[in-house]
Structure 1
Amino acid sequence: MSTFALWRLFHRPGLRGSAGHTSMLAIIAFAAATTIFLTVLGGVHGFIWRASADHTVACAFDFGACRPDTVAAWKRQISDPTSLAQFSTAYVALAVFACMLLVVPFVALAGSAARLAASRRDARLAALRLAGATTGQVVRLTALDAAGQALIGALIGIAGYCALMPAVMLIPFQEQRFTFEQLWVGPLALVITLAGVAILALISSLVTLRRVAITPLGVTSRTATALPSGTRMVLFVVVVVVAMIVFKNPAMLAQAGQAVMYGVIIGFMLLCFALVNLIGTWVITARAKAKAKRPKDAATMIAMRRILDNPKRAWRNVSGIALAVFIAGITSICGFFGSAAVVGGANDPFTVFIRDIGTGGILTLVFAAVLAAVSSGVMQAGSVYDQAGEYRMLVLEGTDVKTLNRARFIEVLTPLNIVVIVAGGCSMLLMAPLFAASMTEPATLASFFGGLVLCYALVSIGAFASNHVAASLNLTDYRADD
């Protein structure tokens, strides 16, 4: 049988199948991730466009690549103390930093989208393997399925980027609004984004496929996954401690140059940011083990057992929120900058620059929150479809629906509380040595806790959405093992 025929069989609709729902959720996740990524990339391009003498990317980094008739005028402009052009390089650096912060939740959301229907896909692929399909056919089928979802989602995301562009044009930076020419990333960037999303989806899906190709019986029997080790937590603590020591003594880096100092600081922030994603499963597992020993009710027991059954799935439900909380801690100082810059309507270049930092920090947090909201909602809804068989068995065994709904909420809320403490605490610890007393200013704290409230609200919306999805399932029509 050809791979295409297998693909048609693989996607054949059935009364018990939910592959169509999970595929749609994956496409939504890819679309949202692509829209946000291209929008942020467009903002970076806009700042580079403004920081370039002839409005080309190459000229912004090398005067030798500029048109000769534009360099002299631009040098006079950036040396003028009354012009905002003097901060053009700083605008680009901050925009790139914000983009790098958002790359992690973007990759996390895209990776989660690729793995969204993993267990459902694995079960079907394992059945095909047991029925005689070759490993090569299974690999090609998975690649076709994952790449198709990613490309459709990315194309929708490009349309979303174009639709969102007029709204971005309304936001003033450097006392002027962006134009279409500044925000348009160009066809090459769009093609690279399409290819990148597809490659990311392929890598994520093929990694999960190894278990199916090697042991299809292990998938069909739902063998437990290995729990994470504590080594990653030790690594995280060591990196955070080293970062705090470095941040408390910036003078030792200043000797190597200002660029090196900023590079090391930003590098440590990004490293800790990435490590939050690494330790998430371990922290969640440790907390679930502690609560599972003395559950206070049936809902808590069910929730903790689900978390321990698949800690990675539990982490993916809140990973976007955790990363958004980290960004809230990093950008909380921007709230202080923004409020401090509003002094008697002053419009000198430095005041405008500080005010724009506040605006940029808020935008970064909003974009991170949107990614987190989509990630949380999509992953929770996907978990409902993925665990539909377990829900049916529990209902048929006498568990009431209210208990299941509460267990599902606890399953999300417990990891969320832990990762908020870890991610928020880590980001505030990193910022404290750099900004000292400013971290306790009302504007800073209001920005940080406002971000936390937003994150909890987004998770609650996702939980209610997943309950709505669960309510649409027929939990009593058949047994999972019929």
Structure 2
Amino acid sequence: MSAVRLWWSLARHTHAETRLPTVLAVTAFGVTTWAVLTVAGGVQAFQARAEVPGADPTYPFLSWVAVALLVVPTATLGAAAARLTIARRDERLSRLRLAGATSAQTTLVALLDAGAQALSGAVAGVALALATLPAAAQLRFQGRTFDVAELRLGVVPVLATVAAVLAVALLSCLVSLRRVVVTPLGVAQRVPQKGLSWVRVLPVLALGAGFVAAFNASSVLFGLGAAVGVLVLVGLLAGAFALFNLVGPLFVSLLGRVLAARARSVETLLAARRMAEDPKSVWRSVGGISLVTFVAGCLSVVPGLTQGEDAADRLAVDIGTGAAVTLVISAVLAAVSTGVTQASRVLDSRSRYRMLHLAGTDLGVLHSARARETWIPLVVTMGGAAALSLLVVSPVLGLLQAAPVGVLWFLGCAVVGAVLVLLAARASRPLVASCASR
């Protein structure tokens, strides 16, 4: 049987447990595509307005600051979408390899599977972006709303976005296939994955040194031109964001090992072991909200930047509007990431839940362990995000005293984000019961 026919046969003969991860992956790819196209449309509109003689050149720079704050959560959601069904795909393809399928056949089946999901999600994301254009055009910047044509991207950027989403999915699939092609028996037997290295901390030290150097040389940088100063700011924000996402799993692993050594209950021990064994999965379930907390912390100084300005000042009003839009998009990305990751983690751990339940573990214990597995790293990582955001805005921290409403922005986002994660975890409880009883 050819690889294409094999993939089509597997796609047709799937049950509900297999279809759910596919739906979640398509949803995540769709929201990722929508976010990219929406943000790119805004940058395009501000760039076009800046080309008009006498226009304010500040707006394109500010739009790129928003891009810097959104690029990591967008990329995180896209990568999470690509990884949603890897565990299920590894198990199924390893069985095909053990049954006699060649490496080429399993590779092609996996690529067709990942490509179909990514392409479906990307097309849905393009449709969603077009549908939301009229609503986005109602946003008021520079004293007027947008024309839909200003925000609508051309065919080439849209196709490039779809191609990028597809490339992320296929690349992630190829990386995951290395274990299946080389050691299918090891995948089938659930051989533990390689641990994380403390080398992940080194870029943080480099970023800290760069941040201090840039702050001390701020007058020189802005003396070279506003563009240079803003580009440095964008680079620092994006770098801090990316490094927090890089180091997050390492601290989750460390937290799990500390909790496992001090556990005094079965629930805490189960949660700690899960955090230590698969910190990347745990981080993905809480990292989206932690990153939103970081964005909210960075934007908490925005009211202070506009404090004392005339209420009619367009730039002051527009900065506040742009900050609110950035937070909303970040929250949407985090909400989708949290929901699909929580559900996918249950599906990926279904064999563990089934074995624990067959061994006599009550469902209540499983639910309690999973709750602790969520809220403990959530509290710790959100605290880290808050501290990192304060470090980034430390040169202008006095603005919070001028406009304490920024603190309310931050606290409101943190509380809403925490509630969102806990609700997503609780919504997956029926799925835990279903997986444990099968």
- Indicate the TM-score class for this superposition, using the shorter chain for normalisation: over 0.9
State the TM-score, normalized to the length of structure 1.
0.86
Among 183, 204, 215, which residue is 1:236 paired with? 204
1:13 maps to 13
Report how far residue 474 of structure 1 moved.
Answer: 5.4
1:146 maps to 114
1:113 maps to 81
Report how far residue 315 of structure 1 moved.
Answer: 1.4
In 2, Cα distance between equivalents of 1:173 and 1:257: 24
CA contact (8 A) 1:335 1:361 kept: no
1:382 maps to 344
CA contact (8 A) 1:337 1:358 kept: no
**Alignment deviations for residues 29-86 of structure 1 (CA, whole Å, 9 cap, x no partner):** 1111111221111111221222223xxxxxxxxxxxxxxxxxxxx2xxx1xxxxxx3x
1:284 maps to 252
In 1, Cα distance between equivalents of 2:247 and 2:222: 31
Report how far residue 313 of structure 1 moved.
Answer: 1.0
Q: How many residues align?
A: 437
Range with greater deviation from structure 2 (273-282 or 233-242): 233-242
CA contact (8 A) 1:247 1:430 kept: no
CA contact (8 A) 2:254 2:276 kept: no
- Which runs of 5 or more residues in structure 1 are unaligned? 54-73, 79-84, 478-482
- Give, as a single letter, the amino acid of the residue that structure 1 aligns with 2:183: T
1:44 maps to 43
1:359 maps to 321
Given the superposition, is the C-alpha separation of residues 114 and 474 from structure 1 closer, same or farther in structure 2, using an over 3 Å criterion?
closer
- Give, as a single letter, the amino acid of the residue that structure 2 aligns with 1:319: G
Q: Secondary structure at the residue paired with 1:11?
A: helix
CA contact (8 A) 2:290 2:382 kept: yes
In 2, Cα distance between equivalents of 1:437 and 1:299: 43
In 2, Cα distance between equivalents of 1:450 and 1:474: 35
In 2, Cα distance between equivalents of 1:100 and 1:257: 20
1:438 maps to 399
**Alignment deviations for residues 326-369 of structure 1 (CA, whole Å, 9 cap, x no partner):** 2111111123345655x5xx42xxx2101110110111011011
What is the RMSD of the two structures over their aligned residues, measured on CA atoms?
1.8
Given the superposition, is the C-alpha separation of residues 211 and 254 from structure 1 closer, same or farther in structure 2, using an over 3 Å criterion?
same
In 2, Cα distance between equivalents of 1:124 and 1:460: 31
Range with greater deviation from structure 2 (409-418 or 135-144): 409-418
Compare CA radii of gyration and give the structure with the larger one: 1
In 2, Cα distance between equivalents of 1:14 and 1:172: 48
1:135 maps to 103
State the TM-score, normalized to the length of structure 2.
0.95
2:62 maps to 94
- Which runs of 5 or more residues in structure 2 are unaligned? none
1:480 maps to none
- Give, as a single letter, the amino acid of the residue that structure 2 aligns with 1:425: A
1:57 maps to none
Given the superposition, is the C-alpha separation of residues 188 and 389 from structure 1 closer, same or farther in structure 2, using an over 3 Å criterion?
same
Q: Secondary structure at the residue paired with 2:211?
A: helix
In 1, Cα distance between equivalents of 2:435 and 2:229: 59
CA contact (8 A) 1:146 1:205 kept: yes
User: Are 1:420 and 2:382 counterparts?
Assistant: yes
**Alignment deviations for residues 413-471 of structure 1 (CA, whole Å, 9 cap, x no partner):** 222222212222111111111x1311344122112222211211221221122224334
Given the superposition, is the C-alpha separation of residues 340 and 126 from structure 1 closer, same or farther in structure 2, using an over 3 Å criterion?
farther
Q: How does 1:436-475 map to 2 (within 5 A)?
A: 436-440=397-401, 441-471=403-433, 473=434, 475=436
Q: Secondary structure at the residue paired with 2:193?
A: coil
In 2, Cα distance between equivalents of 1:206 and 1:416: 31
In 2, Cα distance between equivalents of 1:18 and 1:11: 13
- Give, as a single letter, the amino acid of the residue that structure 1 aligns with 2:166: A
Q: Secondary structure at the residue paired with 2:397?
A: helix
In 2, Cα distance between equivalents of 1:267 and 1:391: 43
2:164 maps to 196
CA contact (8 A) 1:43 1:95 kept: yes
CA contact (8 A) 1:381 1:466 kept: yes
Given the superposition, is the C-alpha separation of residues 191 and 14 from structure 1 closer, same or farther in structure 2, using an over 3 Å criterion?
closer
Q: How does 1:12-411 map to 2 (within 5 A)?
A: 13=13, 18-53=17-52, 74=53, 78=54, 85=55, 87=56, 89-337=57-305, 340-341=308-309, 346-347=311-312, 351-411=313-373
In 2, Cα distance between equivalents of 1:425 and 1:283: 14
**Alignment deviations for residues 143-162 of structure 1 (CA, whole Å, 9 cap, x no partner):** 11111100100111111111
- Give, as a single letter, the amino acid of the residue that structure 1 aligns with 2:10: F
1:69 maps to none
Report how far residue 245 of structure 1 moved.
Answer: 4.5
In 1, Cα distance between equivalents of 2:216 and 2:415: 30
Report how far residue 14 of structure 1 moved.
Answer: 5.4
In 2, Cα distance between equivalents of 1:214 and 1:233: 30
- Give, as a single letter, the amino acid of the residue that structure 1 aligns with 2:4: F
